[in-house]
Amino acid sequence: MEENDKMVGDTRKKKQYKPKALSEIFEHGKVPPQATDLEEAVLGAIMLEKDALASIIDVIRPDAFYKEAHQIIFMAITRLFAKGEPIDILTVTNELKFTGELETAGGPFYIAQLTNRVASASNTEFHARIILQKFIQRELIRISSEIIHDAYEDTTDVFQLLDKAENQLFSVGETNMRRNYLDMQSLVRDAVKRIEAAKNQTGQFSGVPSGFTELDRVTAGWQPSDLIIVAARPGMGKTAFVLTMARNVAVEFKKAVAVFSLEMSSVQLVTRLISAEAQLPGDKLRKGNLENYEWEQLNAKISTLIDAPLYIDDTPSLSVFELRAKCRRLKAQHDIQMVVIDYIQLMSAGIDRSSGNREQEISTISRSLKSLAKELNIPVIALSQLNRSVEQRPNKKPLLSDLRESGAIEQDADMVVFIYRPEYYNQSVDEGGASLVGHAEISIAKHRNGALKDVPLRFISKYAKFTDPEPGDFDISGALAPNGKFENGINTLTVQSKMNDMHEDHDVPY
């Protein structure tokens, strides 16, 4: 008994739990935001009411508490919760004793007196949210202080500093501002509203139409918040395909589109657009070798492009940070409805490459693109290269496993679309003798919310342009086996690939 009294007395004499850094208190002459009385009330309520923890465990984490002692106590509580053991004064004290943290947490007396702070456990969740708000304020102060300190350093790379600041601020929001669950009544009501909106809208598409009839019929347009990966080997026409789509969306449907070209300059892309729009060969445009009637044809056709809400950014080695910032600005200023990125392997994650391999960096990029699509609620279309394994197979049609550098691209994408042109591999006729010149297939190999299908298109190489096939152009079954296994299709003729003479990252020429 005397021993217990002595222990309690010693505990009372101890200094009460200083913040992690006293310098935080005196910096700028202000005390960091905190709510230690509410921290005590929350911990006390958890040890009194068995349901109190369930209401806040997804609201706050141990580091949200200001006092180190409170962090230690809350971590002990979460360990007990994870093991399915009861939580009260005795079990928490015993857990801290077992881990050797009891004295650091203030001793048995301090833990016991936490329950005296609780009048009712009914407001525990509200108190926890105030604690979280104070934690976010402290995090913002910490991040801002680091930014100010680094900004004064002459050796600091300003763009790396911008990227670091954005990532830290984004992390605070992502970690601490999670969405709560919604009940079925709210979810069903929202789903029905979306269905009604799709029924009442002009046209038959709930998303952004591509301008290709059969492709839009299968997809109902590119859906908001979807990440669509368009993949093919170099030279298949990835840039031509998305550029044709961007033109269709901006010119035909008057929807604003942002195109981020990491490979080609904006003038080169516009020259391609002019070539396709005016139906003038690209090599003649590059040389300026046009007849008088062709100049008239060019001037008559470009008027449709001049007023198109199409925004092209050709910043090389674009980082995820820069992309997010630019897309947010374009969304606010021009209400863009679709983003196109050409292409994903040329992007950087905005991190030190020496700290991880390229596969990890691509994984970070693909996750960020999916987050961007959800944040802006628009489809994001990203081009991707395929690895060389497709060239080693007799059947050259691509598979999901051919996606280059990271399986995360396949995992994060809502849709994966492959471009395949038999003509590229010198297959001019199929096994039935039908011409394959100009034939292209858009193969939907992954479709999270719809069907898998092969969609035939027509590729006009001299204009670098895709169009719907003319009646009787091609006859294709449109069947696509699950998991991207293309079983039926064109007879494959093994020939020397043009890829051996081509740069890995160059796309289709004019």
- Residues annotated as catalytic (active site), given as ranges: 263
Give the three-class secondary structure for 371: helix
d(CA 25, CA 22): 5
The answer to whether 391 and 497 have CB atoms below 8 angstroms apart is yes
Query: On the CB side of 269, how many CA atoms lie within 13 Å of its CA?
Result: 26
Angle at 231 between CA 230 and CA 237, to 5 degrees: 90
d(CA 510, CA 235): 10
Six-digit token pair at 103?
């004295």
d(CA 42, CA 471): 71
DSSP 462: G
d(CA 414, CA 412): 7
Nearest to residue 105, comparing CAs of 220, 196, 14, 219?
14
Q: Which amino acid is at 100?
A: G
Six-digit token pair at 116?
């005296």
- Cβ-based neighbour number of residue 243 at 10 Å: 26
Nearest to residue 324, comparing CAs of 166, 171, 144?
166
d(CA 476, CA 237): 20
Angle at 437 between CA 433 and CA 438, to 5 degrees: 140
The answer for residues whose C-beta is within 8 angstroms of residue 298's C-beta and 6 or more apart is 274, 278, 280, 290
Angle at 391 between CA 387 and CA 396, to 5 degrees: 105
